[in-house]
Amino acid sequence: MNHATPLRRTLTALTATTLLAGGLLLGQTVTAEPAHAAGKKIVCDVPKLRQQAAELRSKAAKLQRLGSTAEARKVRAYADALERQAQACVDADNNAGKPWQ
């Protein structure tokens, strides 16, 4: 009886894992919805995003006054994310149609 060497077992396990992971990724890619469909525009409501960020910042200040620093930090982080999203929309609008820059 011939036993498999440790290297052969390792390579077999690695190959099986790679094939399984590749199949899962391929299946997810095929069934996933596209980020935006052709012909549809992604529209950002910049004033609304900035308004939400301002409201969250006031909520964070209130939480900070009440002593909930961890929650205030999370709310501020979310407000920062909304501000970055709004700024990204503004930058995308400013750079649209300028492929030379």
Q: What is the pLDDT of residues 44-92, one digit of tens each?
A: 889 999 999 999 999 999 999 999 999 999 999 999 999 999 999 998 8
Listed in sequence order, the residues at least 6 apart from 89 whose beta carbon sits closer than 8 Å to its beta carbon are: 44, 46, 49
Tokens representing residue 85 in the block = 């999203």
| Whether the predicted model's global pTM rises above the 0.75 cut | no
What integer pLDDT is reported at residue 13 of this predicted model?
75
CA-CA distance, 44 to 91, in Å (whole number)? 11
